[in-house]
A and B are shown apart, each in its own frame.
Chain A
């Protein structure tokens, strides 16, 4: 199946700052889903992007699907300690959800 690459692998953020995590593929993605996994927890669904150029917002989180559907991004503004965790993008193709390696976020208070 397709492989999605996520960067960066680790993100250390000062509380109150913004950051972005990226998801890239060499081939066109069907649907992109984003998940968050808190330390010691399980992946929790955040959002799905389907259309080229789609932008969706959830409070301080902004998700974007590239025009060519080969990349996606998650931007978090005014980072809080509750944002700690690993954020995964995942390609949903042919009923199979294939995850990127994740971006693990730590927050400095």
Chain B
């Protein structure tokens, strides 16, 4: 029944490793997003996909690569993890042209790089 689900919920990994976070939404929304929340709770958009097409690509190191196999899924792959990548990563979705219901966020993935 979860509207936007992310896996894993927690991820602890060593510097230099490569890891992926998966996101799925069952709301029928057309647009999906990745946000990064740092230790000061600041939420910053990273990427957005609309119907599998990349529409927002903020200034993010190219070690981060999003992939959207279909409009219900948006995954985030991170290469060569660094200490500064430690944060909570939120996936979100929204319907096209209808913002009265806001964005629906997943429960987040807490990434800790050691």
Partner of A42, one of B40, B42, B108: B108
Q: What is the minimal beta-carbon distance from B96 to any residue of chain A, in angstroms?
A: 9
- The residues of A that contact B92 with a CB separation of less than 8 Å are 43
Contacts of A35 in B (CB 8 A): 102
Interchain nearest-CB distance for B25 vs A (Å)? 13
The closest CB in chain B to the CB of A47 belongs to B102
Chain A interface SS verdict (over half): strand
Contact B48 A102 (CB under 8 A): no
Question: With the chains together, A104 CA to B41 CA distance in Å?
Answer: 9
Rounded to whole Å, the gap between the CB of A71 and the closest CB of chain B is 20
Contact yes or no, A101 B41, CB < 8 A: yes
Q: How many residues of A contact B (CB 8 A)?
A: 22
- B7 sits at the interface (CB 8 A): no
User: Is the Cβ of A43 less than 8 Å from the Cβ of B99?
Assistant: no
Question: A45 contacts B101, CB within 8 Å?
Answer: yes
Mark contacts of A40-74 with chain B using CB atoms, 8 A cut-off: 1 yes-contact digit, 0 otherwise: 01111110100000000000000000000000000
7 closest A-B pairs by CB: A45-B102, A99-B43, A42-B105, A43-B105, A42-B107, A42-B108, A102-B41
14 A-B pairs within 8 Å (CB atoms) are namely A33-B102, A37-B41, A42-B107, A43-B43, A43-B90, A44-B105, A45-B102, A48-B102, A92-B99, A96-B45, A97-B33, A99-B43, A101-B42, A102-B42
Contact residues of A with B, CB < 8 Å? 31, 33, 35, 37, 41-46, 48, 86, 88, 92, 95-99, 101-102, 104
